[in-house]
Amino acid sequence: MVKVDLQLIKNRFGIIGNSSLLDREIDKALLIAPTDLSVLIIGESGVGKEAFPQIIHQNSIRKHGAYIAVNCGAIPEGTIDSELFGHEKGSFTGALADRKGYFDVADKGTIFLDEVGELPMATQARLLRVLESGEFIKVGSSKVQKTDVRIVAATNVDLLKAIRNGKFREDLYYRLNTVPVIIPPLRDRKEDIPLLFRKFAGDFAEKYRMPAILLTDEARSVLMKYRWPGNIRELKNITERMSIIEKDREISVETLKTYLVNPDVGLPVLAHSESDSHFFNNEREILYQILFDMRKDINDLKNRVPELKSGNAPIQSDHSHVTFQHLLKNNIPDEIVEDEPVPYADEYSDEETEIEIKETEPKTFSLEEVEKDMIQKALERHRGKRRNAALDLKISERTLYRKIKEYGLE
């Protein structure tokens, strides 16, 4: 009976797959739907989080009320409060009339806050008040209004890390996270990959009026082993490109690999605790960790330099004097900083000639420098197209615009 119900739900909301991990989260969504609990949907970008708020809404007592989906990352910071809570006429430049916000319009219904981690701190405080007391105040007003709205939020970022960095309120996190629904990434649903490919291939064949593409057995094996960092969205985009470009409708493994990024190389898996189970979902965090490890290795190497220089002369913090003969013995030419041309060893004795060497500090990289470099390279890859660069970096367009301005990359 349960299996039949789940299949009906999948058919209704366009969910494809038979993974036990996916079935468990759908079942959880159906169990909490009749309640008024707040729900936090967690999952990487492209896993299909948008279907779950609709499952919850359509199976709740609020199904006849309004359902509003809000992409928090796509609304500029200056207007997000007006969009959510409304504003009074004249409350700011351009406010030519009173306006109802989403929390007013969706009374008795459900609001889906996608990319909730992108909300500004001031807006988070307003949202917390709605969750705690069902009250809000329009921008430019002093009148408290009531609303009866169920909130379902979604995020692809690690909110616990955002809390540690002071970018997300801890009290709001626990209010939203009454019941977490964790959508598994596509790499954990390998058995569903051929099903999704077949569905997308059929859809695009109908859309473009051409025969559907097929995979050879070897290509299917590669498809299932690939890590899919972009998840279902990436699989869909690749299937569409192959459907349009490839004349041969049977896709070989060689052809498939031209559409995949590093198909033969698996990404590193870093050990982490259960509390940080989502910390490394974002590939940028892996890069940061690698850079930190590199800096540690450089510092360790620096600490060993005195051992290489050990001899008659002491090593000082800023610079040291050693004899030319001693330098020849230890062979450390890269560390030498000469004030004058160095004479040949046979022209002068050890006692007559001394040259100055200087320790070099290892170059370190801050997170800001790494982030700026990644953004700059993403913009170059996509020829300045910010939307594509934001998708590549797996951040919202609003965040990308803010970072571009912050780092002077305009």
Closest CA to 146 of 133, 159, 158, 155: 133
Closest CA to 84 of 93, 92, 75: 75
The reported pLDDT for the residue numbered 338 is 43
The reported pLDDT for the residue numbered 20 is 95
The reported pLDDT for the residue numbered 289 is 57
Q: Can you tell me whether residue 110 is helix, strand or coil?
A: strand
Six-digit token string for 62: 């609020």
Domain locations along the chain: 2-184, 188-257, 289-358
The reported pLDDT for the residue numbered 93 is 85
* Rounded CA separation 127/137 (Å): 11
The reported pLDDT for the residue numbered 70 is 97
| 177 φ/ψ angles, rounded to the nearest 5 degrees | -90, 40
Q: Which helix (H) or strand (E) holds 254?
A: helix 253-257
The reported pLDDT for the residue numbered 355 is 40
Return the bridge partners of 155, or none: 42
The reported pLDDT for the residue numbered 239 is 97
* Rounded CA separation 391/230 (Å): 9
Residue segments in the chain with a per-residue pLDDT below the cut of 50: 1-4, 267-283, 312-362
What are 166-173's contacts with CB under 8 Å, separation 24+? 167/117, 167/121, 168/117, 168/124, 169/121, 169/124, 169/125, 169/128, 171/128, 172/124, 172/127, 172/128, 172/131
* Rounded CA separation 204/273 (Å): 42
For the domain 188-257, what is the CATH code? Answer: 1.10.8.60
Per the CB < 8 A criterion, the answer to whether 104 and 66 are in contact is no
The reported pLDDT for the residue numbered 285 is 52
Q: Which helix (H) or strand (E) holds 163?
A: helix 159-164
Per the CB < 8 A criterion, the answer to whether 171 and 157 are in contact is no
Return the bridge partners of 321, or none: 356
**23 Cβ neighbours under 8 A, 6+ residues apart:** 6
Q: Can you tell me whether residue 38 is helix, strand or coil?
A: coil
| CATH T-level assignment (fold) for domain 2-184 | Rossmann fold (3.40.50)
The reported pLDDT for the residue numbered 91 is 87
pTM above 0.75, yes or no: no
The reported pLDDT for the residue numbered 327 is 39
The reported pLDDT for the residue numbered 128 is 97
Q: Which residues of 166-195 are buried (b: 16+ CB within 10 A; e: fewer)?
A: ebbbeebbebbbebebebbbbbebeebbee
Residue 357 exposure: Cα atoms within 13 Å on the Cβ side: 24
Q: Can you tell me whether residue 79 is helix, strand or coil?
A: coil
What does each C-alpha distance from 154 to 3, 8, 142 come to in angstroms? 26, 24, 30
Number of DSSP helices (H) and strands (E) in the chain, helices first: 17, 11
The reported pLDDT for the residue numbered 308 is 60
